[in-house]
Each structure stands twice: as structure tokens, then as C-alpha cells.
A and B are shown apart, each in its own frame.
Chain A
Amino acid sequence: MRKTECLAMILAGGQGSRLKALTKTVAKPAVPFGGKYRIIDFPLSNCANSGIEKVGVLTQYRPLELHNYLGSGSAWDLDRTGGGLFILPPYAREKSADWYRGTADAIYQNINFVKLTDPEYVLILSGDHIYTMDYSWMLESHKRNKADATIGVFEVPWDEAPRFGIMNTDKETGKIVEFEEKPANPKSNLASMGIYIFSADIFIKYLEEDGVNENSSHDFGKDIIPKMLNDGLGLYSYAFDGYWKDVGTIESLWQANMDLLQDQPPFELNGDWKIYSSNPSMPPHYVGENASVKESMVSEGSKILGEVSKSVIFPGVRIGKGAKVTNSVIFPFTTIEDNAVVDHSIIAQDVTVKAGAKVQGKEEEILVIAEGETVNA
């Protein structure tokens, strides 16, 4: 078997409770995004494009649809001989069966998988961020610094810094001197992106110690990283300056979708850095005689007979004559019947908005219609 240089582990077990109705039946990483994708397509595609050939996906909450979606990993070119995609849900052992108790525990429970793969480096990713990033540069920086751990950081506005895990670094070397979780008076505005590269030996040692520590909350940000810092290990930051968005809330998910509609989108959509996804077999969408589509993204298999503006339309959506869809995100196979109005909303899969019905949200309070519902006039 070829030697695995870098093993990626994607934490995809989160419930995403702040996405409310959208995660009633699916885990957060499986939530649709951007007209044809699901959130987890971004880290998976980044891995594929960064030359990472072995990826473990740790699932837990409502895994059925996510497992079904991931399949053999072929959509991301991860159906590889002797490797590729590994789906890692919690499992029962001789004495007990535990849920994943935290981000670090999820990996700890799969430490045998990490050992079996025998990588030199382990890349930890989360399955709920929208960004395109070449991890190979971060790995280069990790090697160059001879670091024990490298943490991806991102500059956030100073007033938002108290909401994040903040890294205080040595300006010259990028070496992390202090880590503060949600500090009231931040000394820096470099927020952790939840992306870590660890050298494998140290990684395994710290996880095994943490795993048996009764007092730990088993979290990378709260336990592992502070402990490593305390022990004087070499932790470095790797600054990312592209588009990065945590889509953990309805408003941020909506905003990230709207960001794609700018005349120049925040990251290259049509370039070489493709975002792969499981593709439905559907024809190009049809735009009708009296339709109007502006400042929007529309995917395959949709039929637009009404008016669409500043909206993201997923595959198989029907928008009837005289219907008006503005500032909204419409998930697959939803029907907006004739003369219905949808504004500032996210409409989940297989919803029917009946003829003449009105779904009206506000910019500061995006309305969500849950999967399978019918909205009557």
C-alpha cells in the first residue's frame, strides 16, 4: 500500500441545531448549499483538489442521508484502491457503546483507524464551513516550521472576535503564544477556523491521554490545543485570507448563499478549483417565455415560468407563472405555484407553496419552510 502522507478527518457529526427546521432530518454537513451542493462538498472537494487521497468522515447525528450522499466517495474522486473515503460512525465495543463526546473524542474513538492508516500528518476539518482552500500549502507551512501542530486562522472584524477562539501569535514567526476561547477583551483578531494539522505521533499521544482523562471535555479547542501550548509544543498559525464562512445559523447560511450572487462572487466558481458533488441526472433548466431571471443561480432540471431575482434555485424546482421569488433559497424539487410570492426565505426540499400563497421573511429574520410542507394561500 502506498504511504499516506496526510490523512484528513472531517468532523461531520454535528446536529446544527441553530439551523432549526433545516436539520430536522439531516445532519448539518448534508444541508444543501449554493444551488447544487451540500456543505460537506466544500471540505471534501478541497481535499480532492489538494491531493489528499484518504479522508475519514466522522458521522453521528441523523447519518442516513449523509451516508447515502457520500456513498463510495466517487463524486469526489475518493473511491480509491486501498483508501479513499472512510465513513466512521460511532460503534459499540466489548464493554460499552458511546456517542462521540466531543471533537477530540470522535477521533480518539477512531484512533485505530488513524494508526492503521499510519500517516505522517493528520488534518482535522469540520464539515460546516464554506470556503475553498488548498491544504497542501498549509501542510508545507507545517513542515517548514517543523511544527507539532498548525492551526488555520482567519482575520475577523475586531468587534466579532469575542465570538471566536482567538490565537495570539508572534507576528514574525506565526508561532502561537496564547489561545483564548471567546475572550471578552481580545488581544488579536485571528480566529481559529477549526482546521488543524498535527504531526501524527504527537497527535496520537495527546488524544490517547485526553481520551482517558475524566475531567476533559474532549474538545480540540478547549482541551487538546491548550494542553499542547501548556506543554510548550511548537504550535503555529496559518493565516487564510480567502472567503470563509461558518454557516451555522439560518442567517449566515442565507447570507453565504446570497454572497454567491454578487457580480464577482467571493471565490472563483467556474475555475479549476472545482467543487464536486453528487450530480443528479437532469437536463439543463428551462426558462419560460414570460419568465425573468436576474442576479440568481439556477441549477439543472428546474422550470422557471415566473420571476426570480437575487435567489438560489436548486435542481428540479418548479416556479409557476406569475410567481415571484426574491432574496430566497429554494432547495431541490420544491414547487412554487402560479402567482405565489416568496421573499427572504429558505424553502427546504419537496415543499409546495400553493398558488397565490405568500411566504414573506425579513432580512433580519429569514423565514424557513421545513422539508415536505405545504404552504396554503
Chain B
Amino acid sequence: MKQVMGIVNLQESNATIRDLTATRAVESLPFAGRYRLLDFALSSLVNSGINSVGVMLPDFSRSVLDHIRSGKDWDLARRRDGLTWLPAALPDGDSRKGDLKDLYANLDFVELNDRKYVVLTTGSFVYNIDFNDVFKFMEDTEADITMVYHVAKRDRNAKNVVVQTSTNGIVTDLAETSTVKVGDKLAMSIYIMPVPTFAYIVRSTYERGGQDFTIDGIIRHASEHKISAYEHKGYIAHINSTAEYYKANRDMLNPEIWEQIFMDKAHPIFTKVKDEVPVQYKNTANVKNSLVANGCIIRGTVENSIIFRGVTVGKDAVVKDCILMQRCDVGEGARVENLIADKNVIISKNRWLKGAENYPYIVAKNVRI
């Protein structure tokens, strides 16, 4: 895919997941024990052979910058091409919200890149996609633009762009809805198109008052282009609420999904390397149905949980249905259930904490309980 470049758009709104994103963008939410959400889009681009990738920074950019740094862990620290940071547009009295302003401000990157096509992605999905397949679908359908969708497996209340297609994969309608029903075709905020088409859409829409790439750039002008839609059949999660975040993490406890997302040798998910030691299980450890990241020391009981790097679980402690982020410390005899603990949370000895099954209790960063 030498003729294709990628953009990871991290300018998404994260209003519905505010608890965990007070100090970070949703895309840099820790996920599955050692990753951050944007790793999935970034790794998919890299594994598809795309070696020129622009990362459009969110408002809270420190955690993203600290995570990606030079892009080396994704093999994007290159002499030619590699990673390009796309900072947000300068405030210039234009109060428009949305990502279009930043795409407009960074159009140079796309147009001067010498590539023929651009893949636009966001960083709030969990997936492992080979964009070569999407690209081929675009060629087969002779479309101007190809987008990617997945079929909803359950009803939910959440904003989504629903796609209607004819039998040959050509999009017949696009609309943003606030509820999702089983069988709906949901857009995944992935678009492939030739660079001139992309530049035209961004320029013409922004200069006519547009704010949002998908809504103003694509949906409103859908009839002007031949758009095809590619179905991604593999696992996918869109992290746009705390409940989805909790559920998607726990989906990784299903060995089939775990294998599909992470263990495909040709498509590994890359992340920042931390050089932690393998997990040390002591003689009182009792672990069932859990993911445990390197650097942990486990002396207690852990069930149905996701344990991030460097967590310690003390003797006689019980951790059930939890997500414990980096460097949490569960003291001896403590008991936590249905809990999402952000980084560096300390649960003191013998404390008990329990959330509801469908509504996990969230503990903010660096809190001591």
C-alpha cells in the first residue's frame, strides 16, 4: 500500500465517557491490560503496509504524545515518511467545533505527501483490520469513496451513523441516528478515497461553514459521490460510553476474540514497550478467567478481570469483575468487585468496594481508598 497514506483522527467528542477521560482523550484510554485505544487503528494502518501516517492530536494531547513518542514502537520512526503529528488548528476567532477545522488546517500534509489515496480513521474503536481488503473492495466497486461498516449485534442507545446499501455494496443512504437496532449497518468512521477527493470534500465543506467531516462532508454530500461500503466481519467495539468500555475489555476474556484481535502473527497490535517482568504468581494466588499484564505480582484471588501492568494484589485480597489500570495496589484482605480503577489507585488493607453488575464503580487516578 505504498500509494496510500493514513490519518488517525483523534478529534472526537468524548462527552459520554467523561469519568475516565477527564485528563485524557478517549483514544488514549488504557485497554486490555497494556494497550491504549488508538493502538488498534494505528497498528491496523501499519500492518496494512501504510508507512506514512498523520496523527491528528486531541485537546488533551499529553497522554497521546507520551504514548506514541517518535512512533518507533509502531515502526513509524522513519527517515522517509513515518509518523507526522497534525496539531489542532490555531484558535482564530472561529468558534466552530468538530474535526473539519483541523483537517482543513492540515490539508498540506495530505496534498504534499505524494500519495494517491488516504485512509481516514479514528482512534476509539477496537478492531484489527487489513486495509488492503478495503482498498481492493474500493477498486472492485469502482467507488469514489469506500467506507467501512459492521452489523450491529444488539440494540443500544448511542449515536451512530447508519448505512444503507444496495446489494452490490453501493451506499444508498447515510443517516445519524440515536438508537441502534440489531442488524443495522453501522459506520466505523473509516474512509478511503483519492487524495484530491478528500481535499475537495474538506476544502469545499469547511469553506461553506461545515464543522464535522462525517456529517457535513460525507452525509450531506453523499449523493455527489459514488460511495461503497465494506463490511468488516471481525470483532469490533466502539468505545463511546463507560458501559461499552467495560464490556469491550471483558470481551477480551473470550479466548476466541483475544486470539482474533491480538494473536494474528501477520497483524500484531503494537503498543508502547515498557520492559516489565513477567507476572509473578505467588503460592497463595488464585486466578480464573482473567488477563494479567507483565509487571504484576499476584498473591490473592482474581476472577473475570483485566489487570494492567505493574498491579499488585495482596494476600487474601479478592478482585472480581474489575479493570485495574497500571500500578494499582490492592492491599491484603481487600475485596473489590465491579470496579474500574484508574492508574495508581491504592485499595488499602481489608477495604471492601463493590459496583453494580452493569454499572461499574469508577475510581479516579491516584486515589487512595
Instruction: Give the residues in chain A near B277, CB-CB below 8 Å.
Output: 34-36, 269-270, 275, 297
Query: Within 8 Å CB of B286, what residues of A?
Result: 292
Partner of A295, one of B253, B279, B281: B281
Main secondary structure of the interface of B (DSSP, over half): loop
Chain B residues near A265 (CB, 8 Å)?
280
Q: Is the CB of B278 within 8 A of A35?
A: yes
Q: B169 near A: Cβ within 8 Å?
A: no
Does A284 lie at the interface of the complex (its beta carbon under 8 Å from any beta carbon of B)? Answer: yes
Q: Which of B253, B271, B288, B294 contacts A36 (CB 8 A)?
A: B294
Q: Please, how many angstroms separate the alpha-carbon atoms of A279 and B278 in the complex?
A: 11
- Which stretch of B137-145, B172-180, B262-270 is in the interface? B262-270
**Residues from 312 to 357 in A contacting B, C-beta threshold 8 Å:** 312-314, 316
B186 in the interface (beta carbon within 8 A): no
**Shortest beta-carbon distance from A250 to chain B in Å:** 21
Residues B273 and A279 in contact, CB atoms below 8 Å apart: yes
With A35-B278, A300-B293: A282-B273 Cβ-Cβ less than 8 Å? no
Number of A-B contacts (CB under 8 A): 116
Partner of A284, one of B283, B288, B289, B294: B294
Whether the Cβ atoms of A303 and B255 lie closer than 8 Å is: yes
For A301, what are the chain B residues with a Cβ–Cβ distance below 8 Å? Answer: 262-263
- Number of B interface residues at 8 Å Cβ cutoff, please give it: 43
Q: Mark A137-151 against chain B: 1 for CB-CB distance below 8 A, else 0.
A: 000000000000000
Chain B residues closer than 8 Å to A126, beta-carbon distance = none
Count chain A residues whose beta carbon lies closer than 8 angstroms to a beta carbon of B: 42
In the complex, what residues of A have CB within 8 A of residue B306's CB? 284
CB distance from B309 to the nearest CB of A (A): 8
Q: Which of B52-82 contact A (CB under 8 A)?
A: 72
> B320: shortest Cβ distance to chain A, in Å?
13
For B277, the closest partner residue in chain A by CB is A269
In the complex the two chains form, is B280's CB within 8 Å of A297's CB? Answer: yes
Which chain B residues border A314 with CB–CB below 8 Å?
278
B33 touches A284 (CB 8 A): yes
Give min CB distance, A35 to chain B, whole Å. 3
Contact between B262 and A291 (Cβ–Cβ < 8 Å)?
A: no
- Residue with the highest number of chain A CB atoms closer than 10 Å, among B282, B284, B295: B282
A284 to B262, alpha carbons, bound, how many Å? 10
Chain B residue at minimal CB-CB distance from A35? B278
Known: A297-B278, A303-B255. A285 touches B283 (CB 8 A): no
State the Cβ distance, B65 to closest chain A Cβ, in Å. 20
Docked complex: B225-245 residues within 8 A CB-CB of A: none
Is there contact, CB below 8 Å, between B268 and A284?
A: no
User: Contacts A301-B262, A301-B263; is A286 near B278 (CB within 8 Å)?
Assistant: no
CA distance A284 to B269 in the complex (A): 12
**With the chains together, A186 CA to B169 CA distance in Å?**
84
Is there a chain B Cβ closer than 8 Å to A288's Cβ? Answer: yes
Q: Which A residues are in CB contact (< 8 Å) with B294?
A: 36, 284, 299-300
**14 pairs, CB–CB < 8 Å, chain A vs chain B:** A74-B72, A265-B280, A269-B277, A270-B277, A279-B273, A283-B35, A283-B262, A284-B291, A284-B307, A285-B279, A286-B253, A295-B283, A297-B277, A300-B278
9 pairs of A and B residues whose beta carbons are closest in the complex: A284-B33, A35-B278, A284-B293, A283-B262, A299-B278, A281-B268, A284-B291, A297-B278, A269-B277
Q: A34-B277, A35-B278, A291-B287 are in contact. List 8 more A-B contacts (CB 8 A).
A: A270-B295, A283-B258, A284-B293, A285-B292, A291-B288, A299-B279, A300-B294, A303-B258
